Amino acid sequence: MRAAQYLRAFLGILNREALRWLNQRSRFISALVRPLVWLGIFAAGFRFTLGLSIIEPYDTYIPYEVYIAPGLVAMIQLFNGMQSSLSMVYDREMGSMKTLMISPFPRWFLLLSKLMAGVAVSIVQVYMFLAIALIWDVEPPPLGYIEMLPAMILAGLMLGALGLVLSSFIKQLENFAGVMNFVIFPMFFASSALNPLWRVKESSLWLYRIYSVNPFTHAVELIRFSMYGKFNAQAAAVVGGFFVFFMILAVWGYDPGRGLIAKRGGPPE
Partner 1 sequence: MTDDASLALAVRNVSHSFDARKALDDVSFDIAAGDFTVLLGLNGAGKTTLFALVTGLYHSRYGSISVYGADLRTKYLKALAKIGAVFQQSTLDLDLTVEQNMFYHAALHGMAKSVAGPRITAELERIGLNDRRRDRARQLSGGQRRRVELARALIHNPHLLLLDEPTVGLDIDSRQFLLDHVRGLCAERGMAVLWATHLIDEADDNSKVVVLHKGKVLATGTATAVIQSSGESNLRGAFDKLTQGAPGGKGKP
Rg (CA), the chain: 19
* H-state helical runs in the chain: 3-23, 25-37, 44-46, 64-94, 97-101, 107-133, 142-169, 173-189, 197-203, 205-213, 215-227, 233-253, 260-263
Q: Which is nearer to partner 1, 121 or 239 (CB)?
A: 121
Task: Report the interface residues with partner 1, using CB under 8 A.
Answer: 1-2, 4-6, 8-9, 11-13, 15-16, 19-20, 23-24, 91, 94-106, 256-257, 261-269
Helix (H, G, I), strand (E, B) or coil at 28: helix
Residue 95 C-beta: closest distance to partner 1, Å:
4
Residue 132 C-beta: closest distance to partner 1, Å:
26
The answer to whether the CB of 222 falls within 8 A of the CB of 154 is yes
Residue 48 C-beta: closest distance to partner 1, Å:
45
Residue 7 C-beta: closest distance to partner 1, Å:
9
Vertex 193 angle, CA 188 and 175, to 5°: 10
CA distance 57 to 218: 14
CA distance 28 to 24: 6
Residue 254 C-beta: closest distance to partner 1, Å:
10
Who contacts 117 (Cβ-Cβ below 8 Å, separation ≥6)? 10, 13, 14, 16, 17, 18
Q: Which is nearer to partner 1, 23 or 49 (CB)?
A: 23
Q: Which is nearer to partner 1, 91 or 221 (CB)?
A: 91
Distances (CA, A) of 122 to 160, 170, 180, 253: 10, 23, 17, 24
Q: Which is nearer to partner 1, 230 or 258 (CB)?
A: 258
Q: Which is nearer to partner 1, 53 or 99 (CB)?
A: 99
Residue 18 C-beta: closest distance to partner 1, Å:
11
The answer to whether the CB of 80 falls within 8 A of the CB of 180 is no
Q: Which is nearer to partner 1, 14 or 239 (CB)?
A: 14
